[in-house]
Amino acid sequence: MALAFKQETFRNDYQYSNSPNAIKRFPFPFAEDQYMYSVNIEPHIKGKQGTVCEFPFDVDEHYVGECLDKQITLDLDRGRYKTLPHMMDAQWDFVELTMEALSNDYPEHFSLIKDGLNWTWENKPLNIKQSFVFGDASTMPMDPFEFMSRQVQGDFVLLDQRDETLYADGGFVTSQADWSLAFDVGMSWREWHAPVPRATELGVMDRALKYLLNLQLGSPVRRLNWTMTVNPRLDTSPENYPLWGTDRNTVNPENVADKVHLRVELQSLFRLPRSNAIVFSIRCYLMSLKELSSYPRWAKRLHRVQKTMHPDLIEYKGMTKFHPMMVEWLSKFDDGAAMDLGTHPE
Amino acid sequence: MERGYWIRSKPVYTSLLWHEKATSHLVVAQSQGGMAVLKLFQLMHPKQAITVLYMPHAEADYSKTLIKVVPDGLQLLETEQEVLAKLDSVLHGMCMGMRLYIAGSEDFMWSVAKVANKFGIEDAGMMKELTGTLARPIYCVHCKATTHGVTTNIGECSGCGRMLFVRDHFSRKLGAYMGLMIDAESPGELPDIEEIYP
């Protein structure tokens, strides 16, 4: 089934919404009434048809809009793309992984023709056709990693494995929840997770690292992460904090359900064959509280999760200013009755 | 400050100690860092080749003593640019097994580290001792300028003029703390500015 790509904007006038189908398949992250960090990593295996995990890289109705937004952000700040020189093998690994996945899973939109090392890539929704020699960067219009990062929804970080840790030695990051690639590039696992409160005490980061150091080729893994964002803005970067910081002051009890969005990251990690690096894919899904409440079970669950949120996490996730309003709005969906475990909408 | 608070990506600086199995030693110091160099030589005068680059400062000048303690291998320099240029040329002639020791302000140490990085010397291969001042280099995440020697909790960016606070994050590659505009959400509202990194 061909996807109907929407015309959308993720800044200024915010022309963004989810179709009923997009709401239904939204990766709602809360299976329980309370939330705390955990090493919630699971195999990134093929999910049911139509779900966001059906394929390694999910392409949905927001594809064209998100790719255009990536380009705008990168044009305004070239620092959103950076790789260290020793990551060239990993760049090609990424090209192979994404081109093969998209052309295999969405053949009506993407095609890849291989003749030995002479490859031809076609991306119909973005109107791109490129012939190149695999492994020869001079035959590409830009870095191979940049070329494909522009054409897949989400952010991508290339992790180099050495000294028993992972280094963030490359990335294409335009839709981040308040972290800076320009600042973090070249950092080790422990360094770049330094600002996350409580995670160190819980031992979460060390356990996750141990797991990832043993990640196997062909057995990718995934986890969900979440935050709340005011307006459907992909570029909530620290770089542009002066642009979006004041948005938090615009939330009031009347507009809270339209303004405040649940922002879920489907994070997946793939071992790469030539470089032995890992690509960390961070795919962002946005849904307003109003859209979310079309499934009252979700609204009820989110109410409980938010009501019992640890104060450090409210602060870290930047929710302080609108948190009480959000809890108040969600409370009308909560009848107090016990809920079964699970993230299902109905 | 909240109890138990610390910046986890902040480097831990120690006292300089000789690596006994080095093939040669390169010591780079500034101002009060001269004392750290003297402490090193009080411990031992290594057999291997030694180069010391030292930049005295009006506040602290150990050059007279250093000339006596390190009669050969000492080079006195007047400005940081001179130190970094000299370091660059010295590193060109260095072989594997050389060890690098740095003493001075945080700004100075990471400027030296940046030059050493170009020669493939990784952070773990350099020893650093913080001396003289706690002043911090702050990288403005908005305009990408680094403001040097910030002694206050909030500092004005030398690039864009925004008032920056330090997020709990340090980058070894940039040699600076992460600075974010403090009044982005409430323009003009600034907390008291205090000197807490003298």
Residues of B in contact with A190 (CB under 8 A): 8-9
C-alpha to C-alpha distance for B16 and B37, rounded to whole angstroms: 8
- Alpha-carbon distances of B115 from A135, B119, B135, B137, rounded to whole Å: 31, 7, 21, 16
What pLDDT was estimated at residue B4? 67
In the residue annotation, A11 being an active-site residue is answered as no
- Alpha-carbon distances of B113 from A162, B109, B120, rounded to whole Å: 20, 6, 10
What pLDDT was estimated at residue B188? 86
Which residues, in sequence order, are bridge partners of residue B159? none
Q: Name the nearest CA neighbour of B181 among A227, A197, A234, A244.
A: A244
- Alpha-carbon distances of A300 from A225, A290, A292, A307, rounded to whole Å: 19, 13, 10, 11
> Could you read off the pLDDT tens digit of each residue along chain B, which spans 198 residues?
567 667 778 888 999 999 989 999 999 999 999 999 999 999 999 999 999 999 999 889 999 999 999 988 999 999 999 999 999 999 999 989 999 999 999 999 999 999 999 999 988 789 999 999 999 999 999 999 999 999 999 999 999 999 999 887 899 999 999 999 999 988 888 899 999 999
Q: What is the pLDDT of residues A103-137, one digit of tens each?
A: 999 999 999 999 999 999 999 999 999 999 999 99
Joined together, the tokens standing for residue B78 give 């007047």
Residue ranges of domains in chain B: 24-130, 136-181
Q: Which residue of B has its CA nearest to A247?
A: B185
Q: CB contact, 8 Å: B187 with chain A? A: yes
Q: What is the DSSP string of A226-260?
A: EEEEESS-S-B-STTHHHHGGGGGG--TTTHHHHE
Q: Is the dihedral of CA A81, A42, A304, A333 positive or negative?
A: positive
Residue ranges of domains in chain A: 20-331
> Minimal Cα–Cα distance from B80 to chain A, Å?
24
Q: Do A239 and B173 touch (CB under 8 A)?
A: no
What pLDDT was estimated at residue A256? 97
C-alpha to C-alpha distance for B196 and B198, rounded to whole angstroms: 6
Q: What is the pTM of this model?
A: 0.90
Please check whether residue B171 is in contact with residue B139, taking contact to mean a CB–CB distance below 8 angstroms. Answer: yes
Residues of A with CB under 8 A from a CB of B: 79, 163, 180, 182-187, 190-195, 200, 238-242, 245-246, 248-249, 321
User: H/E element holding B88?
Assistant: helix B80-92
What pLDDT was estimated at residue B165? 92
The gap from C-alpha A288 to its chain's centroid, in whole angstroms, comes to 17
> Minimal Cα–Cα distance from A182 to chain B, Å?
8
C-alpha to C-alpha distance for A195 and B142, rounded to whole angstroms: 18
Which residues, in sequence order, are bridge partners of residue A113? A120
Q: CB contact, 8 Å: B100 with chain A? A: no
What pLDDT was estimated at residue A299? 97
What pLDDT was estimated at residue B168? 75
Here the ipTM equals 0.82
Please check whether residue B53 is in contact with residue B73, taking contact to mean a CB–CB distance below 8 angstroms. Answer: no
Q: What is the pLDDT of residues A207-260, one digit of tens each?
A: 889 999 999 999 999 999 999 999 999 999 999 999 998 999 999 999 999 999
Please check whether residue A170 is in contact with residue A106, taking contact to mean a CB–CB distance below 8 angstroms. Answer: no
Intervals of chain A under pLDDT 50: none
Phi and psi, residue B66, nearest 5°: -65, -40
C-alpha to C-alpha distance for A137 and A140, rounded to whole angstroms: 5
What pLDDT was estimated at residue A177? 78
- Selecting among A198, A222, A223, A283, the annotated active-site residue is A223
Q: What is the DSSP string of B125-189?
A: GEEEEE-S---EEEEETTT--EEEEE-BSEEE-TTT--EEEEEEEEETTTTEEEEEETTSSSTT-
Residues of B in contact with A194 (CB under 8 A): 7-9, 168-170
Helix and strand counts by DSSP (H, E) for chain B: 4, 10
**Architecture of the domain spanning B24-130:** 3-Layer(aba) Sandwich (3.40)
Count of C-beta atoms within a 10 Å radius of residue A330: 25
